[in-house]
Amino acid sequence: MKIINTTTHKTQHARDHLRVAMAQIAPVWLDRTATLQKIMESVSLAADHGADLVTFGEALLPGYPFWVERTGGAKFDDARQKAFYALYLDQGVVIERGDLEPLCQLAKERRIAIYLGIMERAPDRGGHTLYASIVYIDRDGRIGSVHRKLQPTYDERLVWGPGDGHGLRVHPLDGFTVGGLNCWENWLPLARAALYGQGEDLHVSIWPGGLHNTQDLPLFVAREARSYVVAVSGLMRKTDIPADFPHAEEIASNSGDFLANGASCLAAPDGSWVIEPVIGEEALLMADIDHALVRQERQNLDVVGHYSRPDVTRLTVNRARQSTVRFEDQD
């Protein structure tokens, strides 16, 4: 795997510094076990290079549903789409079953924090719907938050359910406060504001992959928030479609060389690039970032501090985990 390592200007205070990594990798498509193993190898490689935080793309475990737009996914009650969905659901991640336990143990052993995009199969919603979730694992191997994407985008709605606000949370990481959102919900001003209001200054945006997603938004969010912005993407080449995948030839024939071309990148608090988008290859992108640059940029704009007016406008966030049933059992 190609390694790209960039260092920003450092101040003298060690507490200000954090090494972040973006693992731009392709899944072993719709194979949860094999993909998890590949993710763990990337975590170890990042830890070997001194990373404090390693991040991965949206729905990477076990993969993004690229077949939907290439096989007539909107056809109602279609036998093929049912078969695709059954396979996808079978390979979904059940956190309560312990599917992420090996990754949590590795995070603890290597003392590295992780943001990972998963397809979550959620028992608390019946266990037969998938949610695009971003999971934060801390350096003690504990799952700190699971944020289910608020609104699936376009054809994603055919295979994913809408999430809730339960995971709109931030986490302390050395001198930084880190939070994250899935893909196009990074465009939602109020979702971003929910994280800004909790002190976020390192924003992790995760994507299935594509320069069209990451060439503009990270710079804008960085400039708006005066924060570092990670934009980490997956990668999917035509050659990554398993030969024995159902209707593989049809999917491949309706695809270019890339179903997702990566374009992971990192923006600085002044809206400049630390790492420009990296296209078309698996790579581990790393950079040392400096919290002093956040503090400098907040001097003239802090959207939840001195440049806010909560007496005029404020945001209310429902962070309850949503359910269709509430039991009131009597002992």
Catalytic residue, chosen from 38, 104, 120, 149, is: 149
Total domain count, the chain? 1
- 139 inside domain: yes
Tell me how far apart the alpha carbons of residues 70 and 144 are, in angstroms, rounded to a whole number: 36
Q: Residue 306 domain-assigned?
A: no
Indicate if 183 belongs to the active site. yes
Beta bridge partners of 288: 7, 19
Of 93, 105, 124, nearest to 27 by C-alpha is 93
3-state secondary structure of 102: helix
Q: Which domain holds residue 36?
A: 2-297
Catalytic residue status for 149? yes
Checking DSSP bridges between strand 176-182 and strand 171-173, what pairing results, if any?
antiparallel
Q: Rounded to the nearest 5 degrees, what angle is found at the Cα of 164, between the Cα atoms of 181 and 148?
A: 45
Is 284 within the bounds of a domain?
yes
Confidence class for position 4, pLDDT limits 50, 70, 90: confident
The catalytically annotated residue of 38, 104, 120, 183 is 183
Task: Give domain status of residue 319, yes or no.
Answer: no
Distance between CA atoms of 165 and 183, rounded to whole angstroms?
Answer: 15
Kindly report, residue by residue over 153-202, the tens digit of the pLDDT.
999 999 999 999 999 999 999 999 999 999 999 999 999 999 999 999 99
Query: pLDDT by residue (tens digit) across 17-67?
Result: 999 999 999 999 999 999 999 999 999 999 999 999 999 999 999 999 999
H/E stretch holding 35 reads: helix 32-48
Report which secondary-structure segment, H or E, holds 134.
Answer: strand 130-137
pLDDT score of 29: 97
Residue type, 265: C
Q: Is residue 302 assigned to a domain?
A: no
Contact of 233 with 210, CB cutoff 8 Å: yes
Give the CATH number for residue 92. Answer: 3.60.110.10
Residue 180: inside a domain, yes or no? yes
- Catalytic residue flag (residue 82): no
Q: Which residues lie below 8 Å from residue 314, measured CB to CB, with a gap of 6+?
A: none
Output the CA angle 143-146-152, nearest 5 degrees.
155
Residue 318 in domain: no
Please identify which of the residues 58, 120, 156, 185 carries the catalytic annotation: 58
Q: What is the DSSP string of 277-289?
A: EEESS-EEEEEEE
Cα 184 from Cα 132, distance rounded (Å): 12
Tens digit of each residue's pLDDT (9 = 90 or more) over 69-96: 999 999 999 999 999 999 999 999 999 9
DSSP 245: S
Q: Report the amino acid identity of residue 133.
A: S
Classify residue 59: in a domain, yes or no.
yes
